[in-house]
């Protein structure tokens, strides 16, 4: 998924947890769903950033004095820092009903 095009807010927003919990019927289950999705997003973003920064890794053994700043590397890092936090992205996905989740215990009771 392209997290750069998300419409999640960049800052923390107060949410009505009771209204958010209507899908699951349980506030704690809702928080758990959002938390698990936020961990997935954080892992994806970390892999993506590491992959892009790997291009700048130098193979030779430079001393600390010889290490120079790479402008492109700094810009990439700043771009990822400006993205909404994974928790905000996951919350927005949950609110927009873009997340699929199931509770095996609840489904087992229905059968």
Domain locations in the chain? 13-57+68-99
In this prediction, residue 41 carries a pLDDT of 94
Q: Which of 96, 77, 111 is nearest to 37 (CA)?
A: 96
pLDDT grade, residue 110 (50/70/90)?
Answer: low
d(C-alpha 94, C-alpha 32), whole Å: 11
In this prediction, residue 77 carries a pLDDT of 85
19-61 per-position pLDDT tens digit: 999 999 899 999 999 999 999 999 999 999 888 888 776 654 5
Give the DSSP per-residue string, 31-82. Answer: HHHHHHHHHHHHHHHHHHHHHHHHTT---S---TTT----HHHHHHHHHHHH
62-79 per-position pLDDT tens digit: 555 445 567 788 888 888
Token pair in block for residue 46: 């970390």
75-87 per-position pLDDT tens digit: 888 888 889 999 9
How many H helices and E strands in the chain? 5, 0
pTM above 0.85, yes or no: no
Torsion 6-93-27-104 (CA) sign = negative
pLDDT grade, residue 103 (50/70/90)?
Answer: confident
Is residue 91 within 8 A of residue 8, CB to CB? The reply is yes
């Amino acid at each position: 998924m392209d997290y750069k095009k998300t419409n999640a807010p960049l800052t923390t927003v107060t949410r009505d947890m009771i209204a958010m919990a209507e899908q699951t019927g349980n506030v704690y289950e809702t928080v758990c769903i959002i938390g698990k999705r936020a961990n997935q997003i954080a892992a994806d973003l970390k892999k993506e950033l590491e992959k892009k920064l790997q291009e700048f890794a130098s193979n030779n053994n430079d001393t600390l004095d010889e290490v120079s700043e790479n402008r492109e590397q700094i810009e990439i890092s700043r771009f990822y820092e400006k993205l909404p936090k994974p928790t905000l992205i996951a919350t927005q996905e949950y609110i927009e009903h873009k997340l699929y989740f199931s509770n095996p215990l609840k489904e087992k009771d229905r059968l």
